Amino acid sequence: MMKNDTMHLAGVYTKYVMKSWFQYKVDAVLRSLAVFLREATGIFVIYFTLLEFDSLNGWNIYEMLFLFSLLFVTYGILILFFTGLRDFGHTVRTGGFDRFILRPRGLLFQLIFCNADWFAAIGHGGLGIVLFIISAGKVGVQWDVVTILYYIFAIIGGVLIQGAIFLFLATLNIYLLETGSIKELFYFNAREFAGYPISIFSKGIQAVMIYVVPFAFVNYFPAQYLLRKPDMEQYPEIFMYLTPVVGVVMYLLAYGFWRFSVKYYKSSGN
């Protein structure tokens, strides 16, 4: 009964959040399109650059687009569930988190379902789907049951990895009211590097992308499983299979940090 009630409440949250975001339909379409075009601009630059130079460390234009598609698709799904964590610093500073504490529901449940950035989800996710459609048939992948299942689990793992980063950074707001610069450094700046094969970077950056902020498991290693590019030889083969595992382990660790930290939350006083 409790499970059904929780699912019903999640549905109610989602329904009203969607109604609020799409109240003005023309505005919603234009803002989603604006996100799509903003992100697509960087892709156009890479596209025309590769037309001139043919490849980047052995990755041709369609393989690069496939790499980017994983990044955008996972973010599009991520932001539907983790907008509340992305914006948690603002919620804490304005005292909004105090209202969540007083409600008879789990705090993380409320944060996940109380809001969803539908414009970012449609813009990023839509771009990811477009890039996948353009590239998937031209990168030599044999789309059978095994590769489709691998792709689905890689997407889920990639979402969990990024969700864990959001949850960890959100938890820091319990101790530090302002963490915007930390979020920029450890998520958005790291995500910029993830758009390219990590093999083109220095060993230090590669180590960060694999072991500290493991965006390499969001798109690079899953893409390597499907594309088998020569630069994979410098990494353990098992990395191509670890994305779901890394996602689950990271999320459980971030959740444990969250559960420990909320005990020490003190209102901002606003």
Residue 243 lies in a domain: yes
Residue 194 within a domain: yes
Residue 205 lies in a domain: yes
User: Is there a domain that residue 179 lies in?
Assistant: yes
Instruction: Return the structure tokens found at 30.
Output: 């234009």
Comparing 113 with 121, the larger pLDDT belongs to 121
270 located within any domain? no
Residues of the chain with pLDDT > 70, as a percent, come to 95
Residue 269 in domain:
no
Name the token pair of 227. 């594309």
- Nearest-10 crossing angle of helices 25-53, 61-86: 140
- The answer to whether residue 106 sits within a structural domain is yes
Q: What is the pLDDT of residues 65-119, one digit of tens each?
A: 999 999 999 999 999 989 888 888 888 888 888 888 887 778 888 888 878 888 8
Who's near 83: CB < 8 A, 6+ residues apart?
Answer: 115, 116, 117, 120
| Per-residue pLDDT band at 18 (split at 50, 70, 90) | confident
Structural domain containing residue 195:
2-264
Provide the pLDDT confidence category of residue 6 given band limits of 50, 70 and 90.
low
139 in a structural domain: yes
Contact 236, 89 (CB under 8 A): no
Please tell me the pTM assigned to this model: 0.90
Counting Cα atoms < 13 Å in the Cβ hemisphere of 200 gives 13
pLDDT, average across residues 167-178: 87
Domain count of the chain?
A: 1
**Angstrom distance (rounded) from CA 232 to CA 136:** 20
